[in-house]
Amino acid sequence: MPTNDLAEPPTETGRPALRTGRWQLPTGRATSRKARRAFRRALRRWGLGSAADELADQLTALVQDVLARSPMRGRGAIDLRLELRESARMLLGEIHPLPARPGAGDQAEGGAGGRGIIVLTYGRRPGRRGAGTRYVHRFTWWRTDSITTD
């Protein structure tokens, strides 16, 4: 369910407004469907038009990839945050495991501390006949919260 799916109002400096969305989703079979639906709604609301569906599909695949490689692997729930940096044509996402119960601390059950990071850049390359080709570059990684030192 969306917990915060609002765009910030336009800035007075003329800079593009930062658009963010945040959702808490259970992990499991329904995660992809719910994430795709939330992404699609947010991207359309943020004015990405015809690119919204393709970008939502790409983002959903990235969420699946991060969750498959994370220590949580289908346990518990996640806090999913998405940010649009329109001037850079970039979507940034973070996936955090939620504690198993309120007040349980910052780590999800099973010691799955960390976060998944998603970066997706998109745009259109000029074509010979003016139409151009849409492109998407995507990156994911899991960052653990613990740093070990020798």
Tens digit of each residue's pLDDT (9 = 90 or more) over 3-60? 444 444 555 666 667 899 999 998 888 888 999 999 999 999 999 988 899 999 999 9
CB 16 within 8 A of CB 87: yes
Whether 45 is covered by a domain: the verdict is: yes
Q: Give the mean pLDDT of 67-74.
A: 73
Whether 1 is covered by a domain: the verdict is: no
- Domain region containing 88: 18-143
| Cα gap 117→62, rounded to integer Å | 9
Whether 2 is covered by a domain: the verdict is: no
For helices 31-45 and 51-69, what crossing angle results, to 10°? 140
- pTM for this predicted structure: 0.73
Q: How do residues 126-147 score in pLDDT, each as one tens digit?
A: 877 777 788 888 888 877 764 4
Q: How confident is the model at residue 102 (pLDDT cuts 50, 70, 90)?
A: low
Whether 40 is covered by a domain: the verdict is: yes
Q: Helix (H) and strand (E) counts for the chain? A: 2, 6
Whether 9 is covered by a domain: the verdict is: no
**In degrees, to the nearest 5, what angle opens at C-alpha 45 toward C-alphas 85 and 133?**
60
Whether 103 is covered by a domain: the verdict is: yes
